[in-house]
Amino acid sequence: MLPKRFDQARPFFTLGVILLVWLLLPLVLKTVTRATFFAIQAPLIVADSYVQDLQTFWSNRLHSKDELLKAGKDLSGLIAQYEYSVQQNKELDAEILRLENLLKLPSMPSFRFEPARVARRDESGWWSRLIIRKGENYGIPVGAPVVFAGGVVGRVIEVHRYTAVVDLITSQSFRVAATVSGDNRPISYQGGLNKSFSSPRGTLEFVPLDITASPTAPRRLVTSGLGGVFPPGLVIGDVTSLEPSADGLFKIGEVALDERLGSLTEVTVLVPLNPEDL
């Protein structure tokens, strides 16, 4: 009877031994094991992403010529707008350089823009992390800011040979110094408690008492540039509510983030030209 019971409990005993060995392993060995597992898994993630791109390509082939012509006209309009924006940015960059030289100010961090395709999101933590299809092979460093047309996406927290992991702006582990549009006092932004596929939101701390915001009169929140990682002026979201904190010295609030964060397919990594900027 005893051997039979032992045979029934053997899977649980084996599992317990494996967990015990894992807990006793040194941290360095755990880190190496995790990195190795990710490296083995990465080609499958990237291959699945390419297959999805191929499926999208062939599904687009099914659209009629009229639909494609309309999409082409819309795209032409967007390209014209972006060309004008690029021209404006060049003029603004020249003006910033002139003022820096005139006032003898230190130059702001310079970046090169590295576009990257989103390979996968973490289904168990939809608003926590995503994986992009570029890594060490494109010189992407840990800590690099990640942006898109709507503003901040997050920050690179892991870099592997062909992929990188991005901590999203919606993640509770993400923090950045910010300012409310029209006010230069720094406040603290942090990702909030976001359920999968819900509207993305974040939280604010240390907001000065004289700043107000409401759903009918939101305030734009942008990066402050403090800390040297994110350049100033990048859009984070809209402050929709503020209330006094428990100590009454500041306000705390909620930030509505861009809905497009939930359906990103392309992002841009800001790779510092000077590694010391990170």
Which range among 91-95, 171-175, 221-225 shows the weakest confidence by mean pLDDT? 91-95
pLDDT surpassing 60 at residue 30:
no
Whole-angstrom CA distances from 216 to 65, 187, 212, 237, 241 are 42, 22, 11, 15, 10
Specify whether the CB–CB gap between 179 and 222 falls below 8 A.
yes
pLDDT surpassing 80 at residue 206:
yes
What's the sign of the alpha-carbon dihedral 54, 59, 62, 67?
A: negative
Hey, where are the domains in the chain? 14-60, 71-107, 175-262
At 139-169, the pLDDT tens digits run 999 999 999 989 999 999 999 988 999 999 9
What is the arithmetic mean of pLDDT over 120-149?
Answer: 90
Q: pLDDT value at position 75?
A: 80
Q: pLDDT value at position 83?
A: 80
Mean pLDDT (the chain) is 82
Find, among 178, 188, 166, the residue nearest to 252 by Cα.
188
pLDDT surpassing 80 at residue 247:
yes
What is the arithmetic mean of pLDDT over 183-190?
Answer: 93
2 — pLDDT class (breaks 50, 70, 90):
very low
pLDDT surpassing 50 at residue 79:
yes
Q: pLDDT value at position 268?
A: 95
Higher pLDDT, 189 or 227: 189
Q: pLDDT value at position 191?
A: 93
Return the structure tokens found at 30.
Answer: 């755990």
What is the arithmetic mean of pLDDT over 104-129?
Answer: 83
Whole-angstrom CA distances from 50 to 45, 117, 264 are 9, 10, 15
Q: Give me the percent of the chain exceeding a pLDDT of 70.
A: 77
What is the arithmetic mean of pLDDT over 33-48?
Answer: 62
Residue 44 C-beta-side C-alpha neighbours within 13 Å: 5
pLDDT surpassing 60 at residue 216:
yes
Q: pLDDT value at position 17?
A: 65
Higher pLDDT, 255 or 227: 255
pLDDT surpassing 70 at residue 96:
yes
Q: Which fold has domain 175-262?
A: Thrombin, subunit H (2.40.10)
Whole-angstrom CA distances from 194 to 82, 117, 179, 215, 243 are 32, 23, 22, 19, 20
Return the structure tokens found at 106.
Answer: 């230190």
Q: pLDDT value at position 80?
A: 82
What is the arithmetic mean of pLDDT over 21-40?
Answer: 56
Which range among 93-102, 154-163, 254-263 shows the weakest confidence by mean pLDDT? 93-102
Q: pLDDT value at position 270?
A: 94
Higher pLDDT, 233 or 16: 233
Specify whether the CB–CB gap between 257 and 200 falls below 8 A.
yes
Q: pLDDT value at position 202?
A: 95
